[in-house]
Structure 1
């Protein structure tokens, strides 16, 4: 175990941090963070509509969701390009490149003009288009990046600065949109559908039991080594958003939701993330009555955030991070939780979420019932709490004994 921990801390974790610090990967991760307010704004409307379904006199605010959640792809392609220009140190292009990305995105979506009216499929600019928006953002960023490296008109003294700036924007804009025009208009390729088909196996794989467990398990492994799980939003957010959008559309069309791998099932319902990633609430409860002064104090400090499914204070304060006695149970719980949730939903023992509510800091089990719209979430919550507790207990007791000895030395 000591050899494994040494390898994880001195070899694996530093290399992983280096990989995630890559400007392209960092740009995608940063994009998912910065588009979150628009996702949450839409989520609040869906949350509000839960109450409106019982209180019909409340005003209809769905238009707000339509212009936040409904425009996610457009926001993402802009932010992705903007972030890439910053990370690649091409700040002079961050606005124009981002605006060009919006134009390129629309071009690739093959809109039509009928009787002077610009028409584009609504689904292509919303949540379903996030993955394509990331691809287009990377494409536009690559064009501007390679052009910037040519240093055209750099140190030119014969032209005014503003003229050089115009030229250095006109050229990459024209190249970017010219390529998009040839591919979409001249060759007639539907790149939106092509990219969607390309990533379909990933989307479908995430909805299987092994795929669902991996989506929940892998981020926790890195989280337990101090690497923020936010970096995985670049992969999980497009999958989760597209999945919940399909569930919403299915219910609106009189069907039933089928996608389990959604942010609502993983985070908002707070069954898998009970107290935070890895089901840490039972650990926090154990710490409240610890015989170790250190653990008891940390338990009292962390219980507030834990009730709202925020476990960073616990992860770094207990600590769980790089603690071999607590890393293993959090890994185990990150398999148990997703497996139980997927199986109960798959076999109809618990409703699959069909509303987009991604405010993950709603205390459970209130959030569990609200998100699933199913009172059966209560016994599922209790069962998972017990399973998490049983997993934590033996490892915690060994660690507690160690902490008590350290308290005695101090």
Structure 2
């Protein structure tokens, strides 16, 4: 099994994860996180679960929600800038020129039937078109630059002026292409991209889809590969769209539409990091083995902030057949429980994006807009993790104790020989 994973499955998944476009998308989407978290902070302040807080704020509660519209309402545009810049930098192109062309192309693609820019598509609804158009723009620019199909200027021309003329031809082609499609053909680019990606979006909005994703991420971790990073280029745009829609619904006091929004995986599945390893860390802290107790002490701090590399590589869990079982099973069990609890309205759904390093209980409380049952469930997740990991860890510990005892006997034997 290990041989099959290492030689057949892992190389394919690593190749997908290292794809130039997916890496650019992943890094470009990361550009939106500071804005989303900043907007979420304003929303948290406006909706603190304190009796009389909203009445005390009065009209300021509405004013505090304005930055939310300005941040969540621009994630599509910000993502287009970030993706274009990262992809241009990979191909050693002028990042600023590519970004400017991408922004112009994105704006042109978001025209409504009256040929006015529809600012409503600057947010989550325009995210998919932002991804595809930014990639398309950079590759068109690269086509012209590689083949030197641009206006050449004499020596001595200032670099800024020279770059503007270099960008002129690809800019005209990009804008002309989008103008023809959107204006002449009256083809709704944004609606088309949304429709094309709807099967993937719909799949990841279900429990089976989420379980498949969680299982695949955990399987990659079993092979020593950061599964979240490998697949985030595909999943992040979708989950980011979901959290933006959840936030808008929360602001409008409407039912929250999505469970599998950004933050669901980190907060309501991965207590202590991917694989929900917090329970394993607690088990190691109580271990009779000197080695595992040391690993537990080293891992506890990072695990509180959802960093589990010390556990994954310290136990180790990589290509460890015994620990692969709970590493895959634990997050899938917790995922199912979290999803069902949210589906039946027992705990709140994620409506705000909080830093992924926020400790358990606190992260669930703030991500759900102050939902106390969600915070309690976050603590229960740690208990479930401990229950699942504990019997497997005890088997691992038993073997380690035998090795430590044998090592101690060898050490004492060597000391007695030198005495």
- Quote the offset at 1:113 in angstroms: 7.9
In structure 1, distance between residues paired with 2:315 and 2:338: 27
Residues 99/231 of structure 1: CA separation in 2 closer, same or farther (3 Å cut): farther
Contact in 1 for aligned 2:37/2:353 (Cα 8 Å): yes
RMSD of the alignment, in Å? Answer: 2.7
Larger C-alpha radius of gyration, 1 or 2? 2
Which of 36, 45, 51 is matched with 1:48 structurally? 45
Residues 34/321 of structure 1: CA separation in 2 closer, same or farther (3 Å cut): farther
Q: 1:261 aligns to what SS in structure 2?
A: coil
The range that moved more, 313-322 or 182-191, is: 313-322
**What is the number of equivalent residue pairs in this alignment?**
397
- Quote the offset at 1:101 in angstroms: 0.4
Residues 20/371 of structure 1: CA separation in 2 closer, same or farther (3 Å cut): closer
Residues 409/144 of structure 1: CA separation in 2 closer, same or farther (3 Å cut): farther
- Corresponding residue for residue 366 of structure 1: 362
In structure 2, distance between residues paired with 1:121 and 1:253: 21
In structure 2, distance between residues paired with 1:207 and 1:6: 33
Residues 128/25 of structure 1: CA separation in 2 closer, same or farther (3 Å cut): same
In structure 2, distance between residues paired with 1:65 and 1:53: 20
In structure 1, distance between residues paired with 2:163 and 2:112: 31
Q: TM-score, normalised by structure 2?
A: 0.85
- Corresponding residue for residue 100 of structure 1: 101
Q: 2:142 aligns to what SS in structure 1?
A: helix
In structure 2, distance between residues paired with 1:296 and 1:362: 24
Contact in 2 for aligned 1:29/1:231 (Cα 8 Å): no
- Corresponding residue for residue 123 of structure 1: 120
- Quote the offset at 1:143 in angstroms: 0.7
- Quote the offset at 1:360 in angstroms: 2.4
- Corresponding residue for residue 110 of structure 1: 111
In structure 1, distance between residues paired with 2:398 and 2:103: 58
- Corresponding residue for residue 85 of structure 1: 88
In structure 1, distance between residues paired with 2:389 and 2:147: 57
In structure 1, distance between residues paired with 2:315 and 2:80: 40
For residues 40-80 of structure 1, give each alpha carbon's deviation from its aligned partner in whole angstroms, at most 9, with x where no partner exists: 22232233333287534566443333333221111111111
- Quote the offset at 1:149 in angstroms: 2.6
- Corresponding residue for residue 296 of structure 2: 299
Contact in 1 for aligned 2:31/2:78 (Cα 8 Å): no
- Corresponding residue for residue 227 of structure 1: 225
Q: 1:46 aligns to what SS in structure 2?
A: helix
Does residue 290 of the first structure (1) align with residue 287 of the second (2)? yes
Does residue 309 of the first structure (1) align with residue 306 of the second (2)? yes
| Equivalent residue runs for 1:55-74 within 5 Å | 55-56=53-54, 57=56, 60-74=63-77
- Corresponding residue for residue 168 of structure 1: 166
Q: TM-score, normalised by structure 1?
A: 0.87
In structure 1, distance between residues paired with 2:214 and 2:178: 36
- Quote the offset at 1:383 in angstroms: 4.6
Does residue 76 of the first structure (1) align with residue 71 of the second (2)? no
Residues 45/235 of structure 1: CA separation in 2 closer, same or farther (3 Å cut): farther
- Quote the offset at 1:322 in angstroms: 3.0
In structure 2, distance between residues paired with 1:265 and 1:21: 24
Residues 171/378 of structure 1: CA separation in 2 closer, same or farther (3 Å cut): closer
In structure 2, distance between residues paired with 1:44 and 1:313: 31
For residues 70-103 of structure 1, give each alpha carbon's deviation from its aligned partner in whole angstroms, at most 9, with x where no partner exists: 211111111111111122x233x32111110011
In structure 1, distance between residues paired with 2:333 and 2:175: 48
In structure 2, distance between residues paired with 1:112 and 1:97: 27
Q: Which has the higher contact order (CA 8 A, sep 6+)?
A: 1
List runs of 5+ in structure 2 lacking aligned partners. 408-419
Residues 67/406 of structure 1: CA separation in 2 closer, same or farther (3 Å cut): farther
In structure 2, distance between residues paired with 1:344 and 1:52: 21
In structure 2, distance between residues paired with 1:392 and 1:214: 21
For residues 202-248 of structure 1, give each alpha carbon's deviation from its aligned partner in whole angstroms, at most 9, with x where no partner exists: 22222221012223332222233232212322222222222122223
Residues 158/363 of structure 1: CA separation in 2 closer, same or farther (3 Å cut): closer
Contact in 2 for aligned 1:127/1:245 (Cα 8 Å): yes
In structure 1, distance between residues paired with 2:405 and 2:66: 61
For residues 248-286 of structure 1, give each alpha carbon's deviation from its aligned partner in whole angstroms, at most 9, with x where no partner exists: 33344443113111123332xx33111112211110000
Q: 1:263 aligns to what SS in structure 2?
A: coil
